[in-house]
Amino acid sequence: MSPPADGARWATLTPTAAAVHQAWPALAGHWYIAATGRELRRRPLARTVLGLPLALFRSAGGRPAALLDRCPHRNVALAGGRLARGCLACPYHGWQFDAAGACRTLPGLPEGAPSAQAARATPAFATLEQQGFVWVYLGDDAPSSGPPAIAHLSERGYTSFSGAAGLLTAALPDALENFLDGLHTHFVHAGLIRREGHRREVTVTVRRTAGGAAAEYPEAPSGFIARLFGGGLDRAVGAFRLPCVAALDYWAGPRLKLGLTLHFTPVDAAHVRLFAVGVAPAPALGGRLGEPLLVALMRLALRQDAAILAAQAANLARFGGPRYAYTPLDVLRPHIQRLLRHGPSAEGLPAEQRVAMRL
């Protein structure tokens, strides 16, 4: 087995980052969505990604920047500071840092006084605004490429929505599994996604993909949301992609009806921040009833998932951690678990399998 990508000197910066890196080593060396472009305005924003506290701010020209959220002077959080001519000024003694983390201004220091520049710098992380999201790269070296493009978002011929979708109290594998699992939908989303009285036997095909795994369900969900698609829905594909992406694509024959993608940004071992993207061929998502209704119903489904995940996390805490039973119906969980740990070359998983279930 090839060793997991390391590239994780950043993980030595806090105990939480070290714990996250130890649990899921394959998460190092990737881009993560830290915020939407709209969330990052004129004030700095505190965000934690993979256990690493970051101060996000808009530097010269409005470009986003991410610094370790700790002033090198007396270690106050920089995100509590303010913007000053493209720099971020610490709220305590006003040291000002540029996008690269260099201290540009030290109020009170006489001109020409000797200074140790390096000791006054704070770590900075590669940051890029793309497709309405602010991405941060957590790896030791400069990233070899930019964040992955989100397919069809704002593309001609497609209609789309995207944005922040809240904070989940859940461990990362539990959150990813939840979004891609069909068998909770009859209960957590009863009527909305599936209905208990309308199960049919289907054969689900589970495949390894490049950097992930996907499960194909040859059916239209029996709940209300599927009816908004206006008929013809015959296939849904749920896919996990490293580092932390879960996508659900609904198809009618060869035509994509709706692609719903959740980008999960791990905050720490017990919390995940969600960013959602929905795309569909134009003119409208959700057929004649329209996009606003579909978006409202999806928000409702996300709230239902957030509630059951929080309840799961609370009970895990009562018992001191998970002791899970597995069945063949847990089609993607083993893939998610191994890929998070070992990366795209994870071994011990079948390339393809078929699983019968009553969905």
Positions touching ligand FES (CB under 6 A) are 71, 73-74, 76, 90, 92-95
Q: How far is the CB of 199 from Fe ion (least distance, A)?
A: 17
Q: How far is the CB of 9 from Fe ion (least distance, A)?
A: 36
Cis peptide before 243 (omega within 30 of 0): yes
Beta strands in 196-326 (DSSP E): 201-209, 212-217, 235-241, 245-252, 255-268, 271-281
Residue 149 CB partners (closer than 8 Å, separation 6+): 130, 131
Q: Residue 274 carries which DSSP code?
A: E
- Residue 328: phi and psi, rounded to 5, are -60, -15
Give the residue with the Cβ less far from Fe ion, 47 or 186. Answer: 186
Q: How far is the CB of 53 from Fe ion (least distance, A)?
A: 30
Give the residue with the Cβ less far from ligand FES, 122 or 127. Answer: 122
Q: How far is the CB of 184 from Fe ion (least distance, A)?
A: 6
How far is C-alpha 328 from the geometric centre of its chain's CA atoms?
26
The interface region with Fe ion, picked from 67-75, 105-113, 303-311, 339-347 by CB under 5 A, is 303-311
Kindly write down the DSSP assignment for every residue of 175-212, as one continuous string.
HHHHHH-STTHHHHTBTTTB-GGG--EEEEEEEEETTE
Give the residue with the Cβ less far from Fe ion, 69 or 177. Answer: 177
Which of 10, 170, 305, 333 forms a contact with Fe ion (CB under 5 A)?
305
- Residue 17: phi and psi, rounded to 5, are -65, -40
Out of ligand FES, Fe ion, none, what residue 104 binds, judged by CB under 5 to 8 A for its kind, is: none
The interface region with Fe ion, picked from 82-90, 101-109, 147-155, 305-313 by CB under 5 A, is 305-313
Give the residue with the Cβ less far from ligand FES, 8 or 90. Answer: 90
Structure tokens at 225: 């949301």
Q: Residue 288 carries which DSSP code?
A: G
In whole angstroms, give the CA distance from residue 136 to residue 42.
18
Give the residue with the Cβ less far from ligand FES, 37 or 94. Answer: 94
Give the residue with the Cβ less far from Fe ion, 109 or 300. Answer: 300
HSE-CB for 319 with a 13 A CA cutoff: 9
Q: How far is the CB of 109 from ligand FES (least distance, A)?
A: 11
- Residue 121: phi and psi, rounded to 5, are -90, 155
Out of ligand FES, Fe ion, none, what residue 73 binds, judged by CB under 5 to 8 A for its kind, is: ligand FES
Residue 115 CB partners (closer than 8 Å, separation 6+): 106, 109
Out of Fe ion, ligand FES, none, what residue 9 binds, judged by CB under 5 to 8 A for its kind, is: none
**Using alpha carbons only, how large is the chain's radius of gyration in Å?**
22
Q: How far is the CB of 69 from ligand FES (least distance, A)?
A: 11
- Residue 158: phi and psi, rounded to 5, are -125, 150
In whole angstroms, give the CA distance from residue 293 to residue 278.
13
Give the residue with the Cβ less far from ligand FES, 76 or 355. Answer: 76
Q: How far is the CB of 261 from Fe ion (least distance, A)?
A: 15
Give the residue with the Cβ less far from ligand FES, 88 or 301. Answer: 88
Out of Fe ion, ligand FES, none, what residue 161 binds, judged by CB under 5 to 8 A for its kind, is: none
Out of ligand FES, Fe ion, none, what residue 74 binds, judged by CB under 5 to 8 A for its kind, is: ligand FES
Q: Using CB under 5 A, count the residues that bind Fe ion.
A: 1
Note whether 177 binds Fe ion by CB under 5 A: no
Q: Are 203 and 356 in contact (CB under 8 A)?
A: yes
Out of Fe ion, ligand FES, none, what residue 305 binds, judged by CB under 5 to 8 A for its kind, is: Fe ion
Summarize as ranges the residues that interact with Fe ion (CB under 5 A): 305
